[in-house]
């Protein structure tokens, strides 16, 4: 095991990783921007290095400054958290070249999964079902039209370098394709520096279900069951849970075995997530793979009783996965709510400012992952996630009951938060019946 771990991140995830490091007796290094001088994650670490200005480009996205901090503090390993540089193959490669362990997948795996066309092709070759569509970049509107004629309308144009919903366009009919292609191509070029697009048959009102996978350097790959993540707004997840309510047993079995087959096919190591769309009949289709630890990993931890971050540290140090598949069991139900500094009454407008009052719930079945305290400032420069509230129970009903109680006990003054919205979700009949899909917010399911 390495001696010193630097976390190239901030907020709750930096603190989560430090906690795991401390359990193993590892020395911890924080990096922080000017805006984060007083931040909790800085105080959690044994050593902290200021790396630059508040804008992420000048600090948390600056690979050179982070590597300098790692060399200066003699860090043996870097954990990237999520977001920022976590899925940068170039960063993972630079870390490796500096003789430092990257706590995550190999750069090659990050690169392959970052190219959504390549990911789709590799997963399809591995026997994982994908939606009908193109298996390469389409050259122009006419190329897209030829594919769409085969698979049927509506179709969706997606950016090869996209993911997370950026640069997608739904197209209803052939006469709209040329213009939609030009617009999506231009947007992808501007956002990613490459305009490559591919085409898929569009699936209406799907559920988003993902499978946590884990690989070690000896080639073992296991899954840690699924998470239902359909309650999203503009591709930002708001509520995640496991088990996925009402998922047919055959779908569940198909998803998990596809996820493992897909991860094995690319020699995947460390924590990753295979995302799928699930249709009303239980059919499932590979969407993309996230080559990182995800925000919602605590849901899986509460359900299985495993510690994913500890596992990441062990596996990155070259140790085998400690659990055979048979030891990874969904024993409980867990639900996570993401509390953001956003005003749901104003279209989820960001609400930066200073936290004046902060009272967070605790108790049986309640877990909080927080990056803030009273007096913290919520900067416009970063993701406005304040904390995650995770409830678990023996059953989904028990988890919901605990979650509803915990949401009612949260007191936050100084910024607006998504809590009023989350309370409505948890109180709703649709949610309580487990009848969720990705278009619920657009359809106004949880409006006040």
Q: Which residues are catalytic?
A: 292
List all residues 6 or more positions away from 443 whose beta carbon is below 8 Å from its beta carbon: none
- 117-136: which residues touch ligand MV4 (CB under 6 A)? 131
Residues 381-440 touching ligand MV4, rule: CB under 6 A, are: 438
Phi, psi of 154 (to 5 degrees): -75, 155
* Residues 258-277, interacting with ligand MV4 (CB under 6 A): 277
Q: How far apart are the first and last CA of the chain?
A: 51
Contact in structure between 241 and 333 (CB atoms under 8 Å): yes
Dist CA 198 CA 200 (whole Å): 7
For residue 232, state whether it binds ligand MV4 (rule: CB under 6 A). Answer: yes
Q: What is the SS3 assignment for 3?
A: coil
202 contacts ligand MV4 (rule: CB under 6 A) = yes
Helix residue ranges, H only, 344-418 = 396-409
DSSP bridge pairs for 28 = 5
Specify whether the CB–CB gap between 388 and 338 falls below 8 A.
Answer: yes
294 is an interface residue for ligand MV4 by CB under 6 A? no
> Rounded to the nearest whole angstrom, what is the least distance from the CB of residue 283 to ligand MV4 in the complex?
12
> Could you say whether residue 18 binds ligand MV4 (CB under 6 A)?
no
Q: At what angle do helices 63-72 and 89-97 cross, to 10 degrees?
A: 30
Which range binds ligand MV4 by CB under 6 A, 70-78, 203-211, 327-335, 338-346? 203-211
CB of 160 to ligand MV4, least distance (A): 13
Q: Please state the closest distance from residue 442 (CB atom) to ligand MV4, in A.
A: 8
Shorter beta-carbon distance to ligand MV4: residue 426 or 436: 436
- The helix/strand count (H/E) of the chain reads as 14, 22
Taking the C-alpha atoms of residue 145 and residue 409, their distance in angstroms, rounded to an integer, is 54
Widest CA span of the chain, in angstroms? 63
DSSP-derived 3-state class of residue 286: strand
Q: Are 43 and 23 in contact (CB under 8 A)?
A: no
Nearer to ligand MV4, 48 or 130 (CB): 130
DSSP state of 263: H
Part in contact with ligand MV4 (CB under 6 A); list of ranges 157-165, 210-218, 356-364, 395-403? 157-165
Distance of alpha carbon 232 from the chain centroid: 12
Q: Does 95 bind ligand MV4 (CB under 6 A)?
A: no
> In sequence order, what are the residues at sequence separation of 6 or more whose Cβ sits closer than 8 angstroms to the Cβ of residue 121?
135, 136
Which of residues 114 and 206 has its CB atom nearest to ligand MV4 in the complex?
Answer: 206
Q: Which stretch binds ligand MV4 (CB under 6 A): 58-66, 162-170, 214-222, 361-369?
A: 162-170
Per CB under 6 A, which region of 199-207, 317-325, 344-352, 361-369 contacts ligand MV4?
Answer: 199-207
Least CB distance to ligand MV4 at residue 14 (A): 25
Number of residues engaging ligand MV4 in binding (CB under 6 A) = 17
What's the min distance (Å) between Cβ of 314 and ligand MV4? Answer: 30
Please tell me whether residue 287 binds ligand MV4 under the rule CB under 6 A. yes
**Residue 156: CB minimum distance to ligand MV4, A:** 5
Write phi, then psi, for 238 (nearest 5 degrees): -120, -35
Contact criterion met (CB below 8 Å) for 252 and 209? no
Name the residue nearer to ligand MV4 (CB basis): 165 or 420: 165
User: How far apart are alpha carbons 326 and 338 in whole angstroms?
Assistant: 31
Q: Which of 56, 163, 215, 393 binds ligand MV4 (CB under 6 A)?
A: 163
Q: Which is nearer to ligand MV4, 38 or 165 (CB)?
A: 165
- The residue (of 65 and 237) whose beta carbon lies closer to ligand MV4 is 237
Instruction: Examine residue 208 and tell whether it contacts ligand MV4 (CB under 6 A).
Output: yes
State which of residues 3, 38, 127, 165 lies at the interface with ligand MV4 (CB under 6 A).
165
The CB-of-446 to ligand MV4 minimum distance in angstroms stands at 15
In angstroms, the Cα distances linking 258 to 39, 123, 255, 285 are 41, 9, 5, 10
Judged by CB, which is closer to ligand MV4: 30, or 425?
425
Stretch 23-62 residues interacting with ligand MV4 (CB under 6 A): none
Binding site for ligand MV4 (CB under 6 A): 131, 156, 163-165, 200-203, 206, 208, 232, 235, 277, 287-288, 438
């Amino acid at each position: 095991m390495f001696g010193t771990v630097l976390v190239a991140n901030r907020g709750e995830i930096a603190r989560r990783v430090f906690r795991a490091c401390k359990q193993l007796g590892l020395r911890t290094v924080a990096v922080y921007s000017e805006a984060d001088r007083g931040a909790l994650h800085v105080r959690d670490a044994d050593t902290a290095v200021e790396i630059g200005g508040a804008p992420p480009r000048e600090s948390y996205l600056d690979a050179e400054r982070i590597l300098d901090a790692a060399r200066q503090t003699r860090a043996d390993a870097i954990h990237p958290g999520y977001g920022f540089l976590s899925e940068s193959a170039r960063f993972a490669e630079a870390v490796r070249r500096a003789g430092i362990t990257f706590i995550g997948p190999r750069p090659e795996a990050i690169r392959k999964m970052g190219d959504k066309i390549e990911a789709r092709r590799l997963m399809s070759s591995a026997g994982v079902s994908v939606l009908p569509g193109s298996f390469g970049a389409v050259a122009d509107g006419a190329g897209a039209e030829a594919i769409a004629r085969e698979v049927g309308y509506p179709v969706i144009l997606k950016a090869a370098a996209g993911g997370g919903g950026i640069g997608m366009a739904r197209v209803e009919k052939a006469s709209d394709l040329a213009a939609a292609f030009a617009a999506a191509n231009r947007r992808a070029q501007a956002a990613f520096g490459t305009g490559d697009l591919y085409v898929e048959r569009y699936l209406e009102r799907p559920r988003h279900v993902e499978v946590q996978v884990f690989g070690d350097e000896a080639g073992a790959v296991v899954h840690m069951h699924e998470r239902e993540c359909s309650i999203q707004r503009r591709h930002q997840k708001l509520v995640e849970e496991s088990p996925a309510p009402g998922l047919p047993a055959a779908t569940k079995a198909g998803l998990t075995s596809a996820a493992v087959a897909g991860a094995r096919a690319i020699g995947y190591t460390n924590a990753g997530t295979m995302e799928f769309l699930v249709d009303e009949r239980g059919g499932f289709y590979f969407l993309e793979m996230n080559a990182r630890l995800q925000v919602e990993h605590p849901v899986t931890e509460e359900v299985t009783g495993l510690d994913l971050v500890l596992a990441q540290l062990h596996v990155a140090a070259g140790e085998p996965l400690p659990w055979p598949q048979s030891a990874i069991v969904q024993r409980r139900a867990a639900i996570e709510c993401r509390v953001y500094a956003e005003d749901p009454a104003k279209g989820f407008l960001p609400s930066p400012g200073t936290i004046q009052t902060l009272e967070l719930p605790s108790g049986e079945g309640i877990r909080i992952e927080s990056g803030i305290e009273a007096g913290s400032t919520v900067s416009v420069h970063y993701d406005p996630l304040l904390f995650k509230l995770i409830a678990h129970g023996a059953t989904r009903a028990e988890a919901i009951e605990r979650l509803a109680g915990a949401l009612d006990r949260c007191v936050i003054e100084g910024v607006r938060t998504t809590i009023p919205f989350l309370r409505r979700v948890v109180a709703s009949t649709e949610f309580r019946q487990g009848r969720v899909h990705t278009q619920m917010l657009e359809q106004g399911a949880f409006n006040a």
